[in-house]
């Protein structure tokens, strides 16, 4: 079990909702008992009246206190999975008290954060007294991305069904869905690509073969050519690009993600297999992907399969944003002006393909 | 959005979100099934033992309790286990029915004897409650009362468990379970016997637990496929209902009930409570009816002689309560001449037949004597001689809906004139205006006018002693009237006379309340016992106040109807409608000078009696017209009888009418509202919602059980197609199924073309 999110819930922010239907039904039964009592003056109906009267606060108290005691855990048996692979999601409710609830609902949100698709579900479980209740969900995912299961709120219904006590909680669990490790077709990297995008550091004066690692405010001593003029204009103060020198043996692979989901899915899968093939040839790859939030390229160094998968997880942490390929290449030129060429995985004419791009 | 993607062995997968599929097999991961069944068995056991055992404990009937409890427990466990699996449910029911039939056959003597034993014990308590000497008893075939009741109780426990289990069913129908259970306890509670605390706890726990399960939507051990489909559509993931939670809830309820029952019995002891609060107005109002029911069964609730005002030619005792319809029976046309009550005599009873409870006049001598009209002849002679204080009058009577009889005003000599229904007759009569005519009445020939049956003598002797009747005839009559007024309240609902009881004895010694027939019958025998010739008379009585208020003047000439002295200053010919509210029984007493004259011995009707009117009476009043509505004030000077109806009751009629109208209006309004809500929902729904509404509307119209039990669209549409309700080719139907599945389970709205095509298929079927 890789992920374990436990939350003590219910201590704060409890809200009570009343189910009118259940209230009306209860009042109807109460009224019938009252009428019978008035008609018969029976001791039995007197006792039943007292029981019914006491039952309401009793039932409410049970539910109210239970929200303080109950603890929930949301875990999964895998952190990373492949499309179609079964993943066990285990929702466990622990109740240290002797109070119980026959109906508790957990508002689950399930979705893919990479594609921004989320849907709400309501998981209905009864809570046993002084015990544990598990709900095992076997899920399988068809899409790549970061699958998030979260629960921000739960509610416990009292025994009579009249009061529904809502309470906040903070449970979440995520699973990264990576492309299939074993591709059905062997990916072959054209020979011409080998070394074509290799970054060679020139000894020419003034050339700086490095990549931007950060952007910061201008400090005395910074080179004027490092000033990020466009950003400085936006920020109203001089900003400079902090550079890290790139080693001379890495191959740059730019992921030009299309905005359409299925195309992006295909491109990512193809990229994964291409990079894996390159890694098999002992080539070092640096993945670049445009981050619209940071307004820069995210860079992931992949020297092994593990690093590749970590890189994909990092990519899936972001969200798929649309952009224009031409502008992306322009950004590439701006950010890496010294780079002569690079590999680019782009989607053209209904399929993803790897191509060599001349920077400039 | 939960979406059913596919079906594999009835385990639908659910699309939790785009690209995330939840395997449907999680439904099979059930926890605590046996704990659930145990809880079901416990509340089944609690309801059955609480109701049956509670009833017997209330009547303090002895039997072997552990045998009863063990049988109930085993039966409850067995019945609960029937829900463990589908095949066992069917087989198990067959087995238990065989057991029930076989044991019933083998132990029938014990069971019937035990049942009668229980009824006898209950009957004993009932006779004490109703303060009645009459007691229903059944012959017990088995001498060992204790054993017979034990066997019967065990058998009843077995049957009750099966029936209650069926009533509760899979859907936890708490009303179906609790109503019969509480009904069992209502019998002792009505008779002021309360069940023991342990049974109260059991029943309360049983009922409340079933109620709680229902309210928490605990439906069954194994939710049906359609439940899961519905849940999936509502984005619900139904986890298992925990047996531990169920047991916890049961324990909590049991604890609460135990504490409350214990504390209540400690703070408000049962006996002291019953001593102060046992009688309610509801009980007081229904005691007569319940007593009839207790003594005579269902037939005791039915009036055997439901005709005019509870009076049918001297037949007595068959009317539990007088139900009046206030429809016109007779229409009178005459000239009012007195402030006194006007009697119309239609039946004379000479001989009272005890235990058969009716008056007859089969004796020829008595019959001929009753047909004599010597007083009328003497009054006529006095009138014709031109003396003041005498008169001759004519009364035209139209028989609208009364029995065929002569309706003779006092004193008429037209006793041979019968009036069949819907026909009219004219009576000439000579009212007695105070002046006694000359001469004396014909002496009595028959002994019947002084005869008191042997069976009634003892009761009447006791009565006369208690009432202290003595003195002259008039003093005895006045004393009797006063005594009736003080000790024998008038009621229109005295209850039917029990079987094997004499009407007069029962009235005088036990019931001590009644309506005019009771007073008149008893008074006749009492007066005879005191040596005063008397006879029982039935007919109609009309008060002057009623005439003054409700009669209509006509354009007829007064002289055609009335000649001679009148006690009223101004008169005209009036028309007055007599209803069954005017039906009455009274006494005729013989006086040597006057002959037979009417004596009123029925007490005043008090306002207290109004509240005793049944709902049926109030209901019948709704249909009375203004013309025939009685309008006698309760404080009017004239004594009142079955004819007297108060304005208070009349005022309640509009309220009842309002309620009925409200009810009548509410039903179409309810359906209209439902229809409007449906239309509103339809108009605001997207295409998916609209299509599903149309489809469900079609399914509802077919109202076939086969259809309702089908789990999915495929099966339903296949059935509809096979049975000719959908006349499309299979390709179209497949498209329809696909569209319906999309509409039901997809997040996306179906296309307009698909919607139109589906609607075309559904509407064009």
Report DSSP letters for B581-599, one per residue.
GGEEEEEEEEETTTEEEEE
A40·B280 Cβ contact <8 A: yes
The structure tokens listed for B65 are 């309790």
B20/B71 same-domain check: no
B449/B526 same-domain check: yes
Cβ distance A343 to A352 under 8 Å? no
**Model pLDDT, residue B704:** 64
**CA B713 to CA B721: how far, in whole Å?**
12
**CA B598 to CA B642: how far, in whole Å?**
17
pLDDT band at A123 (very low <50, low <70, confident <90, very high): confident
Cβ distance B322 to B582 under 8 Å? no
**CA A263 to CA B733: how far, in whole Å?**
35
Provide the 3-class DSSP secondary structure of residue A300. Answer: strand
**Model pLDDT, residue B25:** 64
Cβ distance B728 to B750 under 8 Å? no
DSSP state of B416: T
A119·B244 Cβ contact <8 A: no
- Parallel, antiparallel or unpaired: strands A145-157 and A163-177: antiparallel
B434/B387 same-domain check: yes
Closest CA to B597 of B366, B410, B453, B433: B410
**Model pLDDT, residue B637:** 33
Q: What is the pLDDT of residues B646-700, one digit of tens each?
A: 444 455 566 667 777 888 878 888 888 888 888 888 888 888 888 888 888 877 7
**Model pLDDT, residue B4:** 41
**Model pLDDT, residue B283:** 83
Q: Which residues of chain A does CATH 2.60.40.10 include?
A: 3-177
B121/B162 same-domain check: yes
pLDDT band at A206 (very low <50, low <70, confident <90, very high): very low
What would the 3-class secondary structure string for A204-263 be?
Answer: CCCCCCEEEEEEEECCCCCCHHHECHHHHHHHCCCEEEEEEECCCCEEEEEECCCCCHHH
Provide the 3-class DSSP secondary structure of residue A151. Answer: strand
* A198: pLDDT strictly greater than 70: no
The residue-averaged pLDDT of B385-398 equals 88
* A7: pLDDT strictly greater than 50: no
Closest CA to A255 of A191, A308, A196: A308
Closest CA to A72 of A132, A30, A12, A117: A132
CA distances from A319 to A151, A291, B18 (A): 21, 9, 15
> With contacts defined as CB-CB under 8 Å, which chain A residues touch B234?
122
**Model pLDDT, residue B306:** 60
**CA B626 to CA B81: how far, in whole Å?**
65
B24/B48 same-domain check: no
**Model pLDDT, residue B197:** 92
Q: How large a percentage of chain A has pLDDT more than 70?
A: 84
List alpha helices for chain A, DSSP H: 20-40, 43-69, 229-235, 261-280, 305-317, 325-335
Cβ distance B121 to B136 under 8 Å? no
Q: Residues of A numbered 241-280 whose beta carbons fall under 8 angstroms of chain B's beta carbons: which are they?
A: none
The residue-averaged pLDDT of B403-424 equals 85
Asked if the structure places residue B676 within a domain, the reply is no
Helix (H) or strand (E) holding A291: strand A284-291
The structure tokens listed for A13 are 């922010």
Cβ distance B355 to B604 under 8 Å? no
Asked if the structure places residue B680 within a domain, the reply is no
Say whether residue B181 is in contact with chain A using an 8 A CB cutoff. Answer: no
pLDDT band at B3 (very low <50, low <70, confident <90, very high): very low
Kindly tell me the burial class for residue B71, based on how many C-beta atoms sit within 10 Å of its own C-beta (0-12, 13-18, 19 or more).
buried
Closest CA to A33 of B686, B377, B208, B232: B208
DSSP state of B310: G
- Dihedral of the alpha carbons of A6, A10, A11, A16, in degrees to the nearest 10: 170
Say whether residue B279 is in contact with chain A using an 8 A CB cutoff. Answer: yes
Which of A41, A78, A150, A262 would you mutate first to test chain B, the one with the most B CBs within 10 A? A41
**CA A23 to CA A46: how far, in whole Å?**
21
B14/B109 same-domain check: no
- Tokens 């509009």 label which residue? B654
**Model pLDDT, residue B618:** 47
Provide the 3-class DSSP secondary structure of residue B295. Answer: helix
Q: Residues of A numbered 146-165 whose beta carbons fall under 8 angstroms of chain B's beta carbons: which are they?
A: 147, 157, 159-162
Closest CA to B757 of B739, B742, B744, B743: B739
Helix (H) or strand (E) holding A158: none
Task: Print the domain residue range for B20.
Answer: 1-29
- Of the segments A49-63, A304-318, B31-45, B291-305, which one has the largest average pLDDT value? A49-63
B236/B362 same-domain check: no
Asked if the structure places residue B154 within a domain, the reply is yes
| Residues ≥6 apart with Cβ < 8 Å to B751 | B687
Among A4-8, B121-125, B142-146, B280-284, where is mean pLDDT lowest?
A: A4-8
The structure tokens listed for B273 are 């409570």
- Parallel, antiparallel or unpaired: strands A101-112 and A145-157: antiparallel
Cβ distance A358 to A343 under 8 Å? no
Say whether residue B580 is in contact with chain A using an 8 A CB cutoff. Answer: no
Q: What is the pLDDT of residues A95-120, one digit of tens each?
A: 999 999 888 888 989 999 888 888 88
Say whether residue A32 is in contact with chain B using an 8 A CB cutoff. Answer: no
Q: What is the pLDDT of residues B608-643, one digit of tens each?
A: 444 444 444 544 444 444 444 333 333 333 334 333
Provide the 3-class DSSP secondary structure of residue B642. Answer: coil
Considering only residues B557 and A192, tell me which one the structure prediction assigns the higher pLDDT: B557
* A274: pLDDT strictly greater than 70: yes
Q: Does domain A3-177 bear CATH number 2.60.40.10?
A: yes
Q: What value, to the nearest 5°, has the Cα angle with vertex A280 and ends A275 and A286?
A: 35
Establish whether the linkage from the previous residue to B411 is cis, with ω within 30° of 0.
yes
The structure tokens listed for B580 are 């069954």
pLDDT band at A210 (very low <50, low <70, confident <90, very high): low
Checking ipTM against 0.95, whether it exceeds it is no
> Which chain A residue has its CA at the smallest distance from B204's CA?
A48
The separation between the first and the last C-alpha atoms of chain B, rounded to the nearest angstrom, is 31
**CA B412 to CA B652: how far, in whole Å?**
40
B99/B189 same-domain check: yes
pLDDT band at B414 (very low <50, low <70, confident <90, very high): confident
Q: How large a percentage of chain A has pLDDT more than 90?
A: 22
Asked if the structure places residue B650 within a domain, the reply is no
pLDDT band at B218 (very low <50, low <70, confident <90, very high): low
Domain end position, chosen among B581, B615, B645: B645
> Which chain B residue has its CA at the smallest distance from A157's CA?
B216
Number of domains in chain B: 4
The structure tokens listed for A1 are 């079990």
Question: Measured in whole angstroms, how far is the alpha carbon of residue A72 from the centre of its chain?
Answer: 20
Q: What value, to the nearest 5°, has the Cα angle with vertex A262 and ends A261 and A265?
A: 85
* A246: pLDDT strictly greater than 60: no
Phi, psi (degrees; rounded to nearest 5) at B564: 105, -160
B365/B483 same-domain check: yes
* A345: pLDDT strictly greater than 90: no
Asked if the structure places residue B227 within a domain, the reply is yes
B408/B476 same-domain check: yes
Q: Round the CA-based radius of gyration of chain A to a whole number and report it.
A: 30
Among A119-128, A212-221, B559-568, where is mean pLDDT lowest?
A: A212-221
Cβ distance B469 to B479 under 8 Å? yes
The residue-averaged pLDDT of B179-195 equals 90
Closest CA to B598 of B381, B342, B390, B368: B342
B505/B618 same-domain check: yes
- Within 13 Å and on the Cβ side, how many CA atoms surround B284? 12
| Residues ≥6 apart with Cβ < 8 Å to A217 | A237, A238, A239, A240
**Is the model's pTM score more than 0.90?**
no
B19·A135 Cβ contact <8 A: no
Provide the 3-class DSSP secondary structure of residue B431. Answer: coil
Cβ distance B507 to B603 under 8 Å? no
What would the 3-class secondary structure string for B151-203 be?
Answer: HHHHHHHHHHHHHHHHHHCCCCCHHHHHHHHHHHHHHHHHCCCCCCHHHHHHH
B393/B536 same-domain check: yes
Cβ distance A9 to A70 under 8 Å? yes
Domain end position, chosen among B277, B295, B327: B277
Closest CA to A139 of A202, A83, A74: A83
> With contacts defined as CB-CB under 8 Å, which chain A residues touch B195?
44
Which of B2, B12, B15, B19 would you mutate first to test chain A, the one with the most A CBs within 10 A? B19
**Model pLDDT, residue B305:** 62
Q: What is the pLDDT of residues B465-484, one digit of tens each?
A: 988 888 888 899 999 999 99
Asked if the structure places residue B389 within a domain, the reply is yes
The structure tokens listed for B575 are 């028309």
A100·B236 Cβ contact <8 A: no
DSSP state of B241: P
> With contacts defined as CB-CB under 8 Å, which chain A residues touch B189?
40, 42-45
């Amino acid at each position: 079990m890789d992920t374990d999110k436990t939350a003590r819930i219910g201590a704060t922010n409890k809200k009570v909702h009343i189910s009118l239907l259940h209230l009306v039904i209860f009042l109807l039964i109460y009224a019938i008992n009252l009428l019978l009592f008035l008609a018969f003056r029976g001791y039995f109906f007197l006792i039943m009246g007292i029981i019914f009267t006491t039952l309401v606060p009793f039932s409410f108290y049970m539910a109210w206190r239970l929200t303080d005691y109950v603890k929930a855990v949301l875990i999964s048996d895998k952190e990373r999975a492949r499309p179609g692979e079964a993943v066990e999601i285990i929702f466990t409710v622990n109740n240290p008290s002797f109070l119980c609830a026959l109906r508790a609902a957990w508002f689950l949100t399930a979705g893919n954060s990479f594609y921004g698709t989320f849907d709400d579900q309501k998981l209905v479980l009864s809570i046993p007294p002084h015990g544990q209740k598990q709900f095992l969900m076997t899920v399988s995912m068809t899409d790549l991305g970061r699958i998030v299961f979260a629960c921000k709120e739960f509610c416990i219904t009292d025994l009579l069904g009249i009061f529904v006590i809502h309470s906040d909680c903070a449970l979440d669990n995520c699973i990264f869905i990576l492309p299939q490790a074993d591709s059905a077709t062997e990916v072959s990297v054209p020979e011409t690509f080998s070394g074509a995008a290799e970054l060679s550091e020139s000894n020419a004066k003034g050339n700086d073969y490095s990549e931007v690692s950060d952007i910061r405010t201008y400090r005395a001593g910074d080179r004027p050519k490092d000033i990020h003029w466009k950003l400085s204009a936006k920020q109203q103060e001089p900003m400079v690009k902090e550079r890290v020198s790139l080693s001379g043996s890495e191959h740059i692979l730019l992921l030009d993600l299309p905005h359409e989901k299925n195309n992006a899915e295909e491109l990512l899968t193809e990229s994964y297999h291409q990079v894996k093939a390159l890694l098999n040839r002992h080539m070092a790859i640096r993945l670049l992907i445009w981050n619209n939030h940071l307004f820069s390229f995210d860079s992931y160094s992949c020297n092994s399969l593990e690093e590749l998968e970590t890189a994909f997880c990092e990519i899936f942490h972001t969200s798929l944003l649309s952009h224009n390929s031409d502008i992306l290449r322009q950004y590439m030129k701006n950010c890496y002006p010294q780079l002569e060429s690079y590999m680019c995985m782009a989607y053209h004419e209904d399929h993803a393909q790897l191509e060599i791009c001349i920077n400039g | 959005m939960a979406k059913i993607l596919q079906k594999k062995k009835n385990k639908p997968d659910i699309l939790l979100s785009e690209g995330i599929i939840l395997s449907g097999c999680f439904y099979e991961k059930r926890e605590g099934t046996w704990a659930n069944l145990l809880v079901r068995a416990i509340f089944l056991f609690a309801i059955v033992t609480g109701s049956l055992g509670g009833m017997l404990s209330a009547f303090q009937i002895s039997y072997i309790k552990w045998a009863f409890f063990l049988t109930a427990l085993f039966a409850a466990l067995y019945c609960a286990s029937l829900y463990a699996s589908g095949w066992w449910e069917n087989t198990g029911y067959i087995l238990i029915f065989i057991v029930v039939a076989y044991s019933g056959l083998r132990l029938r003597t014990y069971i019937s004897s035990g049942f009668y034993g229980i009824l006898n014990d209950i009957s004993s308590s009932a006779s004490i409650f109703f303060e009645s000497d009459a007691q229903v008893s059944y012959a017990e075939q088995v001498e060992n009362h204790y054993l017979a009741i034990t066997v019967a109780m065990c058998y009843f426990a077995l049957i009750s468990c099966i029936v209650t289990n069926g009533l509760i069913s899979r859907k936890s129908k708490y009303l179906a379970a609790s109503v019969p259970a509480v009904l069992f306890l209502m019998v002792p509670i009505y008779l002021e016997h309360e069940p023991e605390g342990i049974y109260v706890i059991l029943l309360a726990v049983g009922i409340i637990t079933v109620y709680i399960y229902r309210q928490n939507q605990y439906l069954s051990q194994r939710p049906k496929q359609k439940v899961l489909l519905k849940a999936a559509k509502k984005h619900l993931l139904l986890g298992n209902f925990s047996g531990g939670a169920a047991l916890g809830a049961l324990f909590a309820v049991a604890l609460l009930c135990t504490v409350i029952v214990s504390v209540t019995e400690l703070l408000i002891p049962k006996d002291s409570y019953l001593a102060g609060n046992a009688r309610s107005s509801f009980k007081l109002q229904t005691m007569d009816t319940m007593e009839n029911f207790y003594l005579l069964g269902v037939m005791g609730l039915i009036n055997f002689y439901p005709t005019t005002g509870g009076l049918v030619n001297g037949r007595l005792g068959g009317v539990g309560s007088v139900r009046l319809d206030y429809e016109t029976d007779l229409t009178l046309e005459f000239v009012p001449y007195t402030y006194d009550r006007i009697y119309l005599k239609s039946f004379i009873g000479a001989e009272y037949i005890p235990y058969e409870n009716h008056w007859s006049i089969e004796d020829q001598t008595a019959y001929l004597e009753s047909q004599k009209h010597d007083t009328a002849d003497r009054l006529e002679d006095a009138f014709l001689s031109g003396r003041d204080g005498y008169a001759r009058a004519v009364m035209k009577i139209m028989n609208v809906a009364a029995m065929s009889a002569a309706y003779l005003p006092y004193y008429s000599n037209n006793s041979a004139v019968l009036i069949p229904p819907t026909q009219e007759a004219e009576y000439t009569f000579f009212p007695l205006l105070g002046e006694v005519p000359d001469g004396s009445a014909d002496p009595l020939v028959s002994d019947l006018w002084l005869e008191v049956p042997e069976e009634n003598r003892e009761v009447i002797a006791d009565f006369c002693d208690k009432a202290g009747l003595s003195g002259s005839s008039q003093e005895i009559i006045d004393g009797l009237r006063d005594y009736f007024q003080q000790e024998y309240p008038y009621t229109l609902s005295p209850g039917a006379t029990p079987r094997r009881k004499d009407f007069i004895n029962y009235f005088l010694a036990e019931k001590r309340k009644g309506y005019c027939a009771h007073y008149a019958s008893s008074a006749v025998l009492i007066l005879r016992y005191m040596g005063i010739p008397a006879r029982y008379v039935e007919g109609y009585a009309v008060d002057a106040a009623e005439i003054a208020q409700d009669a209509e003047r006509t354009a007829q000439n007064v002289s055609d109807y009335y000649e001679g002295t009148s006690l009223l200053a101004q008169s005209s010919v009036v028309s007055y409608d007599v209803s069954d509210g005017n039906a009455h029984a009274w006494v005729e007493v013989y006086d040597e000078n006057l002959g037979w004259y009417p004596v009123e011995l029925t007490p005043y009707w008090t306002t207290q009696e109004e509240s005793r009117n049944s709902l049926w009476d109030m209901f019948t009043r709704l249909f009375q017209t203004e013309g025939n509505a009685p309008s006698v004030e309760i404080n009017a000077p004239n004594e009142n009888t079955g004819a007297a109806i108060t304005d208070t009751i009349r005022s309640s009629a509009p309220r009842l009418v309002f309620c009925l109208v409200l009810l009548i209006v509410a039903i179409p309004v309810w359906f209209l509202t439902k229809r409007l809500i449906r239309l509103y929902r339809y108009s605001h729904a997207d295409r998916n919602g609209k299509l599903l509404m149309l489809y469900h509307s079609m399914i509802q119209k077919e109202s076939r059980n086969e259809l309702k039990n089908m789990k999915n669209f495929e099966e339903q549409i296949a059935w509809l197609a096979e049975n000719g309700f959908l006349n499309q080719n299979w390709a179209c139907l497949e498209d329809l199924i696909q569209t319906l599945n999309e509409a039901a389970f997809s997040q996306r709205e179906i296309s307009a073309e698909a919607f139109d095509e589906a609607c075309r298929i559904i509407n064009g079927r």
